[in-house]
Chains A and B, each alone.
Chain A
Amino acid sequence: MDRRARDRFTELLKPVARAAQAYARHLAWHRNDVEDILQTALLNASRKFGDYAEGTSFKAWLLQFVTYAAFNANRRHEQIDAHELMADTEALDRLTAVEVLTHEVAYAELLQAPERVVGQLGQEVQEAVRALPAKRRSIFLLRAIGELSYREIADVLTVPVGTVMGELWRARKELREALCEYAQQRGRLREGGGTHVV
């Protein structure tokens, strides 16, 4: 990279830094991989910077490098991923009609005070996101953190827009289910305000 390109690259990085950091942090399977992911992504992006078209979204362009760096880093944990996914499906199969009903009640209550519930379950939200399968997690995060359009997400992951839409819907559904479950476990939905540590 010549000096002018480096200055431009640095300038473009600033406004997207927080989103890129948050994205890497929540996409990484393993806390210790985050720095490697960021470094690999930035190194590859700096090398390919000549390919970046001015006027297009630099954030979307950069997050693609973060995505692939994270997928590579996460690959070592793939077995865990598959294992947890199976455990998850089993748990869903075992849900009885009564549990489904209480979930629905919990969901209605979640919608009553979303900020409070999410605020109290901050850690659990992050866990629930991490429990999503890789591609679904990435799609959800690109939307929630990156605020990318479906088209941009599709381009980042080279998948059809329909896939983005479907996966996003599933991710949101699973996150809501997880939130309801956590909230129920902790009995927080019915307790009103205040922070309770169980």
Chain B
Amino acid sequence: MSCDEIRRWVSPYLDSELDPHTNFEIAQHLEACAACRQVFEAERRLEASMAASLVTDPQTQTAWDRAVHRVLAGGVVRPRRWHVAVAAVALFLGLVGGWRGWIMARQDLVRSALRNHQEYLANRMTLDVQSSSPEAAEAFFVNKLPFPVRCPRHLGDQGIRLIGARLCHLKQVPVAYLLYHVDSRPISVFLLDTDDLGQFWQAAALGPPDSPQGYRFGRSGVVTVRSAHGVVCAVGEVPQAALERIVASYAFERT
């Protein structure tokens, strides 16, 4: 083979993927031809340094650790119908027996949302769509979620500014995520289907339909409500009243 022909095989040769015969022929040529030897060696180094630059990073490492933990802890098991029953039984056991601590340790919707809010802020997440228009956010979610997303129209008038939206997951449940700002402090809003509530332990803690429930965790507040249109959960380091206004708009205002 000529030098040109030999060089055509550089890729599979370096990957040790050639048949023994061709492999031998190339090895022999390389032994005799310094020019080709140099090219093959440079290609090997180029490929190796490219591979070495394609590493993981701390953010991915953290994502991996979280995913492994969630999967191994068994917290993300479907199907949901069966899971609702399990959640109910577990909740019952939690109230009457020594299982309480174990169940309380499980993430419920509120903690899950709170953790997501904090994680997303810490990672400086980018939004799938950046827009202050409720219509644009609604349009983004069409066909991406199993339920329709309706965004209130007049929050902006109350100083609650829509920043953008993205698709996200709380414990494997697909949810709509909307980011608002009040006095440039971020508020995360999560919307999910009522059917998916069974995925969360302590779903009963959400309270009766149409009655907003508030929680405080240090500086962070969480307000949730479930209505005929689904479940809304707002999280932020803002006065509780602002969160309540947002969930009420989502739950009760129809456009």
A17 contacts which chain B residues (CB < 8 A)?
A: 64
Q: Which of A28-36, A92-100, A181-189 forms contacts with chain B?
A: A28-36
A145 touches B72 (CB 8 A): no
User: What's the dominant secondary structure at chain A's contact region?
Assistant: helix
A82: CB under 8 A from chain B?
A: no
- Which residues of the partner chain A approach B166 to less than 8 Å between Cβ atoms? 32
Decide yes or no: A39 and B54 within 8 Å by CB, A34-B60, A115-B45 being known contacts. Answer: no
Instruction: Indicate if the CB atoms of B17 and A165 lie closer than 8 Å.
Output: yes
Query: In the docked arrangement, what's the CA distance between A2 and B63, Å?
Result: 24
What 1/0 flags go to A1-37 for Cβ under 8 Å of B? 0000010011001000110111011100011101110
A187 to B96, CA, bound (A): 72
Partner of A36, one of B39, B72, B169: B169
CA distance A46 to B50 in the complex (A): 31
Given contacts A39-B71, A172-B47, contact A25 B42 (CB under 8 A): no
Partner of B144, one of A6, A76, A115: A76
The reply to whether the CB of B15 lies closer than 8 angstroms to some CB of chain A is yes
Interface residues in B1-49 by Cβ distance below 8 A to A read: 11-12, 15, 17, 39, 42-43, 45-47, 49
Residue A159 is within 8 A (CB to CB) of chain B in the complex: no
A34 and B15 in contact (CB under 8 A), knowing A114-B45, A141-B54?
Answer: no
Q: Chain A residue with minimal CB distance to B66?
A: A35
Nearest opposing residue in chain B for A21, CB measure: B56
**CA of A9 to CA of B56 in the docked complex: distance in angstroms?**
21
A22 to B43, CA, bound (A): 22
Say whether A119 faces chain B, with CB atoms less than 8 Å apart. Answer: yes
B61 contacts the other chain (CB 8 A): yes
Question: How many residues of B sit at the interface, in one of the four size bands?
Answer: 35 or more
A111 touches B39 (CB 8 A): yes
Binds B, one of A52-60, A83-91, A121-129, A190-198: A121-129
Taking the closest CB of chain A, its distance from the CB of B8, in whole angstroms, is 9
A110 within 8 A of B: yes
CB pair A42 B42 closer than 8 Å? no
B50–A175 touching, CB < 8 Å:
yes
Q: Interface SS of chain B: helix, strand, loop or mixed?
A: helix
Nearest B residue to A45, CB-CB: B71
Query: Are A31's CB and B51's CB within 8 A?
Result: no
CB distance from B146 to the nearest CB of A (A): 15
- B11 near A172 with CB under 8 A, answer yes
Query: Do A18 and B42 form a contact, CB below 8 Å, given A6-B72, A38-B64, A46-B72?
Result: no
Taking CB atoms, residues of chain B closer than 8 Å to A63 are none
Is the CB of A103 closer than 8 A to any CB of chain B? no
- B46-87 CB contact bits vs A (8 Å, 1 = yes)? 110111111111011101101110111000100000000000
With A118-B53, A125-B50 already in contact, the answer to whether A143 and B60 are too (CB < 8 A) is no
- Asked if B172 CB lies within 8 Å of chain A CBs, one says yes
> How distant is the Cα of A6 from the Cα of B70 in the complex, in angstroms?
13
Contact indicator B169/A168 (Cβ below 8 Å): no
Instruction: Tell me, rounded to whole Å, the shortest Cβ–Cβ distance linking A131 to chain B.
Output: 14
Say how far A49's CB is from chain B's closest CB, in angstroms.
11
Known: A149-B17, A150-B15, A150-B17. A43 touches B63 (CB 8 A): no
**Is there a chain B Cβ closer than 8 Å to A112's Cβ?**
yes
Given contacts A34-B60, A43-B172, contact A169 B71 (CB under 8 A): no
Residues 210-245 of chain B, each 1 if its beta carbon lies under 8 Å from chain A, else 0: 000000000000000000000000000000000000
A144 within 8 A of B: yes
15 contacts between A and B (CB under 8 A): A18-B55, A18-B56, A22-B56, A22-B60, A25-B57, A38-B64, A39-B76, A125-B53, A129-B54, A144-B54, A150-B12, A150-B15, A165-B11, A172-B47, A175-B50
- Residues of B at under 8 Å CB distance from A? 11-12, 15, 17, 39, 42-43, 45-47, 49-57, 59-61, 63-64, 66-68, 70-72, 76, 125-126, 128, 144, 166-167, 169, 172
